[in-house]
């Protein structure tokens, strides 16, 4: 007689259903792994697992001289490479109390804003793709190509430029640069209407994003959600306004703040920001003063012993660089406060109780770049 085995009876309703979003998944924009606990279609909780593209940039910086560090910062948030470079350059210049020529400041500001637009264009296409509208992807990339062409003509590369050096720039801008930027603004003002027609006004997109993935202002500050994502919640965190660098204090632009803090508001912040950036470009592009493209620097840059901090507004939020120097030509400790890292920490909080499709939309609207998280 066979013994009857009593299997333990589990309540299926209470069991958690884990799925892995990533590291290889069409919606994670890179190698980020999200372990999502589901109940049906509803996200119960979520654990990000980082480190799939951890290259130890902070450790590598401890062995590199300051000009060499620049090319490593390119590879953090590769979509706003110029802005990352800017942070390190500003830090070195601040520590050495070097005055960079006015021309350099203008060019840096213009290039930063171009980079911001390019980055937001890529965000727009990938967001459209996350929502299931594949056509957005091609329109966004087509228009980003115009900026990359301007970059390529002036700086020789399209994505990772290493264009800024401590004290100035690698080389002067190309003679066609100003004309190229002006043409681009004219072109993009036309094309951004397509963006609005195709995605912003679309009823499906609005239904899917409005009221979804809300983060309150208090939570945004507490989680350190900065950039367009933070401003969507009403957190006035634009470093360009509050701690101006470059020539942002001379440019007239608005820091647009949202109220709702949902996915749609985060979307709109970036759409506004592209227009604001174009406004900054229009004001500055004709006023680049003549002069040197680099300040005189010593051949070997040594920061005086001490600690320095520099904040800049990268395309995805506030980028902080913290350096402890012991007076050598290499930093003693270099820490990057990357915007995506803090934004990602809020993802679990934002996405509890939403549907799995909304999780993809929220991820798209936070716009994380994985190499910037892992560094």
The piece of 101-109, 151-159, 265-273, 285-293 that touches another protein (CB under 8 A) is 151-159
Residue 37 interacts with another protein (CB under 8 A): yes or no: no
> What does residue 355 show for φ and ψ, rounded to 5 degrees?
-80, 165
Looking at 171, 187, 327, 328, which residue binds another protein (CB under 8 A)? 171
Residue 71 interacts with another protein (CB under 8 A): yes or no: yes
Site residues (CB under 8 A) for another protein, limited to 330-359 = 332-333, 335, 337, 341-342, 344-346, 349, 355-359
Looking at 179, 186, 189, 242, which residue binds another protein (CB under 8 A)? 242
Residue 45 interacts with another protein (CB under 8 A): yes or no: no
Give SS3 for 4: coil
Please list, residue by residue across 287-304, b when 16 or more beta carbons sit within 10 angstroms of its beta carbon and e when fewer do. ebeeeebbbebeeebbbe
Q: Strand pairing of 317-325 and 333-337?
A: antiparallel
Closest distance of CB 343 from another protein, Å: 9
Our CB check for another protein shows the closer of 58 and 282 to be 58
Residue 218 interacts with another protein (CB under 8 A): yes or no: yes
Residue 64 interacts with another protein (CB under 8 A): yes or no: yes
Sheet holding 33-39, edge to edge: 17-21, 33-39, 42-49
**C-beta atoms surrounding 258 within 10 Å:** 22
Closest distance of CB 37 from another protein, Å: 12
Residue 374 interacts with another protein (CB under 8 A): yes or no: yes
Residue 77 interacts with another protein (CB under 8 A): yes or no: no
Site residues (CB under 8 A) for another protein, limited to 187-206 = 194, 197-199, 201-206
- Token pair recorded at residue 63: 């062995």
The distance from CA 116 to its chain's CA centroid, rounded to whole angstroms, is 8
Going by C-alpha positions, the residue among 253, 243, 226 that lies closest to residue 110 is 253
**C-beta atoms surrounding 145 within 10 Å:** 14
Q: Please give the size of the binding site for another protein, defined by CB under 8 A.
A: 94
Our CB check for another protein shows the closer of 135 and 328 to be 135
Residue 19 interacts with another protein (CB under 8 A): yes or no: yes
Looking at 102, 145, 282, 292, which residue binds another protein (CB under 8 A)? 145
Residue 258 interacts with another protein (CB under 8 A): yes or no: no
- Token pair recorded at residue 290: 């003549």
Going by C-alpha positions, the residue among 281, 234, 265, 263 that lies closest to residue 110 is 281
Site residues (CB under 8 A) for another protein, limited to 100-119 = none
Our CB check for another protein shows the closer of 68 and 178 to be 68
Q: Read out DSSP for 191-225?
A: HHHHHIIIIIS-HHHHHHHTTSS---HHHHHHHT-
Our CB check for another protein shows the closer of 186 and 287 to be 186
Going by C-alpha positions, the residue among 77, 78, 31 that lies closest to residue 318 is 77
Looking at 162, 233, 325, 365, which residue binds another protein (CB under 8 A)? 162
Residue 23 interacts with another protein (CB under 8 A): yes or no: no
Residue 3 class from Cβ within 10 Å (0-12 exposed, 13-18 middle, 19+ buried)? exposed
Site residues (CB under 8 A) for another protein, limited to 278-317 = 306-309, 311
Closest distance of CB 185 from another protein, Å: 18
Torsion of CA 226, 228, 234, 239, to 10 degrees: 60
The distance from CA 335 to its chain's CA centroid, rounded to whole angstroms, is 17
């Amino acid at each position: 007689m066979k013994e009857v085995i009593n299997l333990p009876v589990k309540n299926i309703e209470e069991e958690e259903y884990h799925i892995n979003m990533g590291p290889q998944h069409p919606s994670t924009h890179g190698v980020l792994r999200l372990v999502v606990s589901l109940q049906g279609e509803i996200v119960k909780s979520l654990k990000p697992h980082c480190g799939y593209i951890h290259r130890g940039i902070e450790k590598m910086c401890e062995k590199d001289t300051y000009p060499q560090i620049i090319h490593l910062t390119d590879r953090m948030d590769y979509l706003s490479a110029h802005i990352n470079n800017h942070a390190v350059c500003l830090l070195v210049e601040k520590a050495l109390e070097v005055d960079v020529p006015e021309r350099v400041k203008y060019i840096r500001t213009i290039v930063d804003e171009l980079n911001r637009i390019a980055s937001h264009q890529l965000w727009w296409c990938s967001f459209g793709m996350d929502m299931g509208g594949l056509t957005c992807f091609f329109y966004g990339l087509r228009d980003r190509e115009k900026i990359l062409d301007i970059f390529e003509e002036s700086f020789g590369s399209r994505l990772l430029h290493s264009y800024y050096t401590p004290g100035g720039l690698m080389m002067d801008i190309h003679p066609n640069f100003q004309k190229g930027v002006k043409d681009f603004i004219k072109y993009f003002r036309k094309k951004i209407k397509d963006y609005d027609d195709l995605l912003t006004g679309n009823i499906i997109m609005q239904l899917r994003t409005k009221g979804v993935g809300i983060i309150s202002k208090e939570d945004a500050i507490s989680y350190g959600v900065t950039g367009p994502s933070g401003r969507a919640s009403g957190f006035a965190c634009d470093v360009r306004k509050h701690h101006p660098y470059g020539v942002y204090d001379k440019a007239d632009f608005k820091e647009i703040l949202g109220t709702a803090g949902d996915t749609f508001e985060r979307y709109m912040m970036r759409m506004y920001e592209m227009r604001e950036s174009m406004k900054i470009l229009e004001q500055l592009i004709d006023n680049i003063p003549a002069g040197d493209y680099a300040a005189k620097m010593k051949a070997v840059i040594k920061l005086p012993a001490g600690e320095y901090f520099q904040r800049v507004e990268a395309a995805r939020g506030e980028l902080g660089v913290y350096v402890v120097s012991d007076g050598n030509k290499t930093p003693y400790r270099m820490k990057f406060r990357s915007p995506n890292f803090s934004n990602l920490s809020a993802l679990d909080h934002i996405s509890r109780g939403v549907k799995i499709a909304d999780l993809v939309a929220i991820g798209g609207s936070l716009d994380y770049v994985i190499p910037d998280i892992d560094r």
